[in-house]
């Protein structure tokens, strides 16, 4: 809407379209001007009300977004904790299995080593016994 009511244009339009002749001082034009002022005032009030309601709506949306973000973060933290616990359990089980495997390897390697040294010990004991028998045989009186 233009800022100033152009009464000359209104009068010309009434004459051209409807054939009604009115002068610039006619009370009907005052009513039109008054209606225009009321309409402008009402439009301003409605615009302000819409702006206020839109601000409230945007604040509500912001609150919902914050709350949704909090919920997503909580859910993420819960899942992260579950994954962390699962990994810790897996690490603990892997450590226990590694210890068991190391123990079995040690036992497997320890048994043959023990047998090997036992055989070597028995062999040298037999060698020493044989040397003793040979030396003792040489000192017997019937062989001299």
Give the predicted TM-score (pTM) of the model: 0.45
Q: What are the sequence ranges of the domains in the chain?
A: 7-143
More confident position, 53 or 30: 53
Confidence of residue 4 (pLDDT cuts 50, 70, 90): low
Residue 123 is predicted with a pLDDT of 96
Interior/surface letters 33-55, b for 16+ CB within 10 angstroms, e for the rest: eeeeeeeeeeeeeeeeeeeeeee
Structure token digits, residue 13 = 């339009």
CA 5, CA 16: separation in Å to the nearest integer? 18
For residues 21-39, give the mean pLDDT.
84
Q: Decide if 7 contacts 27 (C-beta within 8 A).
A: no
For 65-120, what is each residue's pLDDT tens digit?
A: 999 999 999 999 999 999 999 999 999 999 999 999 988 888 777 777 788 889 99
Confidence of residue 1 (pLDDT cuts 50, 70, 90): very low
Residue 29 is predicted with a pLDDT of 80
Q: What percent of the chain has pLDDT over 90?
A: 55
């Amino acid at each position: 809407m233009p800022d100033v009511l152009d009464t000359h244009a209104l009068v010309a339009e009434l004459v051209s379209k409807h054939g009604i002749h009115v002068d610039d001082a006619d009370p009907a034009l005052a009513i039109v001007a008054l209606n225009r002022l009321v309409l402008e005032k009402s439009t301003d009030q409605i615009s302000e009300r819409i702006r206020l309601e839109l601000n409230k709506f945007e604040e509500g949306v912001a609150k919902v977004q914050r709350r949704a973000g909090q919920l997503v973060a909580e859910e993420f933290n819960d899942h992260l904790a579950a994954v962390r616990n699962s990994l810790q359990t897996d690490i603990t089980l892997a450590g226990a299995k590694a210890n068991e495997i190391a123990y079995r390897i040690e036992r497997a390697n320890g048994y043959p080593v023990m047998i090997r040294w036992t055989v070597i010990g028995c062999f040298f004991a037999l060698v020493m016994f044989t040397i003793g028998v040979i030396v003792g045989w040489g000192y017997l009186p019937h062989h001299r």
